Structure 1
Amino acid sequence: MNQVAIEGHVRYVQSLLPAAMERRVLFADGSRRTRSVQYLDGSRMRYRAPRLPRIDGATTRRGFDGIWRRFVKARPDAPLLLYFAGHGSPSPQRNLDNNVFDLWGGGALSVRDLAARMKELPDDTPVVLVMAQCFSGAFANLLFEGGRPDGALVERDVVGFFAATRDRPASGCTPEINEADYSDFSSFFFAALSGVDRLGRRVHGADFDRNRFVGMDEAYAYALLHQATSDVPVATSDVFLRRFVRKPDHETMATPYSRVLSWASPAERAALEGLSDTLGLRGEHRLRVAYDLEFGAGAGKRDVEDVISAHRLRFIRVAKSVVLARALRQSGDRARIERFERLRAAEARNPLVEARAASVARQAMRRRAAR
């Protein structure tokens, strides 16, 4: 089930990284000869060898541990971007807060497994995660010690953007070879973040605050708006707010829409307005209307693949995060407010831009040293 789209996601993200940026790529069994890539040839399923510019090892526990020990821990002060493209599963113990990323050959990397690896890094090493697999939202728990949702907040800046909530599948694992048809979360996210989509076309419209810079928070909002699938993505700030702000849904959804817009960031405002238009929502009570449509009578019979339902859930989740953020800022809890604002500032960064700037700086230093 290692579909050609997964290989395409890895190739696309590799192409966005500066040539001088250090990276390691784990893929399938780590071999360029094994026919490990599944693709659709007409109506027949076939397999071929990988066609990636580099493969550094296998996506196994041994491969992951080796890369972590020899590459990640060897560069303790370097910011870390972790991109996972592949399959994910609910926890075998049915604990949705500890879901897993599926490894080659039947192994698995759980939330708590990754939390243990990250704990080996210095507290000031920032980590960005982009995870495209099913049930990936559980990995937002890396905000907390041990990857446990009731744990203390970790000291490091760790932010993540995930294709699906902890209880839902995600799109993007197709054997279809035409990349023009791909509509997965991470493709939209990285297209907005880099300004170039996977077909090499320029991407506009993600700079919602018009400061000539697209942050990850804007790329996330862009994906929420443009991804026409049943995915319901989640960000670390969403999980932070739901952990620390207790406000019943019936109160949250009673908030007039104009107030929600006034409290929203430019990216959140764009997502709310765009999703409202897509869903045909109107008026001051649209939060309540959307919520009742999604969770009212008959909602339990809805198919998880319902795209309209997914868009409605995206709208509800963005609105809820805006209202909870407002409640937090009015709470007077200075330490928690400062930690939240730090998280939001980290989500507004752009690791691709920072990597390019660092690459240019290193090249300049080498030129000066050679004189």
Structure 2
Amino acid sequence: MSFLSDSTTCQNRPTPNFLVVGGGGSRESNEIALEKNLLYFQRTLRTFGYNPAEAIVFFANGNDGGATIRYIDRLGQQHFKSPEIPHLRGGATGENLDRWFGEMASTASRRPLFFYFTGHGLPQSLILWGHESFTVADLSRQLDRLPRETPVVLMMAQCYSGSFADFIYQGGDRARPLSPQTRCGFFATVASRPSVGCTPLIDEADYRDYSSSFFAGLSGVTRTGQSVPSADYNGDGRVSYAEAHGFAKVDEQTMDWPISTSEAWLQNRATEADRDRIFGGAIATLLSTARPEQEYVVNSIVSQFNFDRQASLVENLSTLPESEVSDRVQAAYLMRLQMELVNIGMEAKLRAAGDAGAIATLDRLLNCESGSWQ
């Protein structure tokens, strides 16, 4: 059995290779929201004019007919059912992933790869069916089988997903140089934290998670079919991955701290002195070097808390009533603001320093993150 899809075009665009992996490690952790996330992804493909059959989908136990998806009905009763995902190619196993990457390597395809994972994770690892571990290093080794000219974009929503930002390095090891292959990604939260969204409840109108917001921003359509304001913040006629990521930072009302590869790279370079300087400067001054999607995030959260843009973050926080940050969602929005200000401030510092190598690395990541399905 081959997992390869035919190379097609959509509105004169080469179809990316869409690789979609989801589900829990066992039926007890295989919540119905994970199945519904894949169905929403397929609807999003159709929104862009892509054929969902072109996406390679591996989910949980695959097509063996087992009732492995856990859900709770509106009466509060727990049930299990079989996967009902169109065009499902098989189970979410290391064997299937190895076979798919091997087939891709044999074709020497240079088509872009978009890899979406929705499931569970541990630091530096995805959890596949049967509680099989698939690490950052495993992913890096599989990607190394593809041509260097194949650009790769990850979108991951599992707990500790930010640890996969290290896949940009050779062997997935931050101590080694960048991979020669163009790689970037977007993650529900930072490497040290769990994320939200794996629910057995069936009403999608109540779902609040990073991937729901990311794909709503990217496509302009929520998982329940509602239109959202355009995330084309730079007005170039398309929504980039980075813009969808910015949309999600504001739209997602959860405790998550979303992060991208370029942001993780910048955050890792920030010292305590850098953070003190950034948090002590006027927000409006920092915004003078921000990209449009960054400006949107900062202005949205600043407005949410009625902060003064002419004052610093430190000054604004000193006057913030404790009642306004009484829950984890509000606290998460404040952390997203801090992270965004660090992203902006560290990029400005790096460019002012004139380090050609560091600037080239950042620009490479930003160019990858500015890609789009349009």
Question: Distance between the aligned counterparts of 1:212 and 1:39, measured in 2?
Answer: 40
**Partner residue, 1:34:** 66
The answer on whether the counterparts of 2:308 and 2:316 sit within 8 Å (CA) in structure 1 is no
Question: Distance between the aligned counterparts of 1:328 and 1:135, measured in 2?
Answer: 27
1:35-184, aligned counterparts within 5 Å? 35-41=67-73, 42-71=75-104, 74-90=107-123, 99-184=124-209
Describe the SS at the equivalent of 2:226.
Answer: coil
Structure 1 residue 142, shift from structure 2 partner: 0.9
Task: Confirm whether residue 268 of structure 1 aligns to residue 294 of structure 2.
Answer: yes
Task: Confirm whether residue 311 of structure 1 aligns to residue 336 of structure 2.
Answer: no
Structure 1 residue 202, shift from structure 2 partner: 2.4
Q: Flag the 1:181–1:175 CA change in 2: closer, same or farther, 3 A.
A: same
The answer on whether the counterparts of 2:165 and 2:261 sit within 8 Å (CA) in structure 1 is yes
Task: Confirm whether residue 278 of structure 1 aligns to residue 310 of structure 2.
Answer: no
Structure 1 residue 291, shift from structure 2 partner: 7.1
1:156-235, aligned counterparts within 5 Å? 156-235=181-260
The answer on whether the counterparts of 1:290 and 1:312 sit within 8 Å (CA) in structure 2 is no
Structure 1 residue 280, shift from structure 2 partner: 3.2
Moved more, 113-122 or 159-168: 113-122
Q: Flag the 1:29–1:128 CA change in 2: closer, same or farther, 3 A.
A: same
Give, as a single letter, the amino acid of the residue that structure 2 aligns with 1:335: G
Structure 1 residue 282, shift from structure 2 partner: 2.3
Gaps of 5+ in 1: 91-98, 354-371
Structure 1 residue 76, shift from structure 2 partner: 2.8
Give, as a single letter, the amino acid of the residue that structure 2 aligns with 1:339: T
Give, as a single letter, the amino acid of the residue that structure 1 aligns with 2:100: I
Structure 1 residue 339, shift from structure 2 partner: 2.7
1:330-341, aligned counterparts within 5 Å? 330-341=352-363
The answer on whether the counterparts of 2:158 and 2:188 sit within 8 Å (CA) in structure 1 is yes
Task: Confirm whether residue 348 of structure 1 aligns to residue 374 of structure 2.
Answer: no
Give, as a single letter, the amino acid of the residue that structure 2 aligns with 1:2: N
**Partner residue, 1:362:** none
CA deviations on 1:271-324 (whole Å, 9 max, x unpaired) are 001111223322434422477799xx9xxxx99x71111111100001100000
The answer on whether the counterparts of 2:108 and 2:146 sit within 8 Å (CA) in structure 1 is no
Structure 1 residue 329, shift from structure 2 partner: 0.7
**Partner residue, 2:43:** 15
CA deviations on 1:75-96 (whole Å, 9 max, x unpaired) are 5311101000001113xxxxxx
The answer on whether the counterparts of 1:253 and 1:291 sit within 8 Å (CA) in structure 2 is no
Describe the SS at the equivalent of 2:85.
Answer: coil
CA RMSD of aligned residues (A): 2.2
Q: Flag the 1:220–1:293 CA change in 2: closer, same or farther, 3 A.
A: farther
Q: Flag the 1:100–1:182 CA change in 2: closer, same or farther, 3 A.
A: same
Structure 1 residue 346, shift from structure 2 partner: 1.7
Structure 1 residue 256, shift from structure 2 partner: 1.5
Describe the SS at the equivalent of 2:56.
Answer: coil
Describe the SS at the equivalent of 1:87.
Answer: strand
Question: Distance between the aligned counterparts of 1:27 and 1:289, measured in 2?
Answer: 48
Q: Flag the 1:20–1:109 CA change in 2: closer, same or farther, 3 A.
A: closer
Q: Flag the 1:291–1:126 CA change in 2: closer, same or farther, 3 A.
A: farther
Question: Distance between the aligned counterparts of 1:205 and 1:20, measured in 2?
Answer: 23
1:239-258, aligned counterparts within 5 Å? 239-244=264-269, 246=271, 248-258=274-284
Question: Distance between the aligned counterparts of 1:254 and 1:8, measured in 2?
Answer: 43
The answer on whether the counterparts of 2:53 and 2:87 sit within 8 Å (CA) in structure 1 is no
Give, as a single letter, the amino acid of the residue that structure 2 aligns with 1:269: E
The answer on whether the counterparts of 2:196 and 2:255 sit within 8 Å (CA) in structure 1 is yes
Structure that is richer in strand per residue: 2
Structure 1 residue 242, shift from structure 2 partner: 3.0
Question: Distance between the aligned counterparts of 2:331 and 2:227, measured in 1?
Answer: 30
CA deviations on 1:193-215 (whole Å, 9 max, x unpaired) are 11222122222231112222111
Describe the SS at the equivalent of 1:25.
Answer: strand
CA deviations on 1:86-120 (whole Å, 9 max, x unpaired) are 01113xxxxxxxx2111111111111111111122
Give, as a single letter, the amino acid of the residue that structure 1 aligns with 2:97: F
**Partner residue, 2:32:** 4
Give, as a single letter, the amino acid of the residue that structure 1 aligns with 2:62: G
Q: Identity rate of aligned residues, in percent? A: 31
TM-score, normalised via structure 1 length? 0.85
The answer on whether the counterparts of 2:108 and 2:147 sit within 8 Å (CA) in structure 1 is no
Q: Flag the 1:155–1:343 CA change in 2: closer, same or farther, 3 A.
A: same
Question: Distance between the aligned counterparts of 1:111 and 1:280, measured in 2?
Answer: 40
The answer on whether the counterparts of 2:63 and 2:91 sit within 8 Å (CA) in structure 1 is yes
Describe the SS at the equivalent of 1:176.
Answer: coil
Q: Flag the 1:28–1:292 CA change in 2: closer, same or farther, 3 A.
A: farther
Question: Distance between the aligned counterparts of 1:292 and 1:75, measured in 2?
Answer: 57
